[in-house]
Amino acid sequence: MRLFIAIELPQTLQNEIAHFIEPLRKQVRGARWIPLQNLHLTLKFLGEVPEIDILKIKNCMEEVIREENFQPFKLQFSKIGGFPTLKSPRVIWLGVSIGEEVLSKITSSLEGSLELLGYPKKDRPYQAHLSLGKVKDPKQFWGVEKFELIHKTSFAGFSVGVISLLQSFLGRDGASYEKVYEVKL
């Protein structure tokens, strides 16, 4: 099973993001936009996981939340960006303006605990972001000036009360996700 741990977005925020990116879909060329129902904030990508590990991962998630006493927190997205840069992106994303510190702590705790199960830590620091689209060939990407006009955008915040273990299914029409488990904060 291909799994990852993430924060799912409320429908109201998905709708707000849809309204925001609709003009970009039409005006910015070379990007493949992520379907709204697939928008999520990844905390930890696990990759292919044997079924025997799923219970261990669920227990790990529970223990991290309980032992660190993580509570519900506010999360808000703002500013559009790109990896490695917005001028020549591979990934187009929204940055986190409120809640980044808590996200970093949760991610760090999860990574430390999951490393003991054989799931290695990332080799670079966690950078909280919400991926909106992917660019296959940055040389074919144009319309970035449209991004410059909306660089200082902000979205409604929401309360995060759950982290989810999601399974990813890759198909001809792209990825789809199914919730395997959730832990309440």
Helix orientation angle between 51-68 and 100-115, rounded to the nearest 10 degrees: 130
Q: Give 119: exposed, middle or buried? Use CB within 10 Å, 0-12, 13-18, 19+.
A: buried
The single residue of 28, 61, 129, 165 carrying the catalytic annotation is 129
Is 40 a known active-site residue?
yes
CB neighbours of 129 closer than 8 A, spacing ≥ 6? 41, 81, 83, 93, 94, 95, 96
CA–CA gap between residue 87 and residue 96 (Å, rounded): 20
Q: How far is CA 84 from CA 4, 90, 134, 147, in A?
A: 22, 7, 12, 15
Q: How far is CA 137 from CA 100, 107, 129, in A?
A: 30, 30, 21
The single residue of 9, 39, 40, 141 carrying the catalytic annotation is 40
Element (H, E) at 64: helix 51-68
Is 151 a known active-site residue?
no
Dihedrals phi, psi of 112, to nearest 5 degrees: -60, -45
Q: Which residues are catalytic?
A: 40, 129
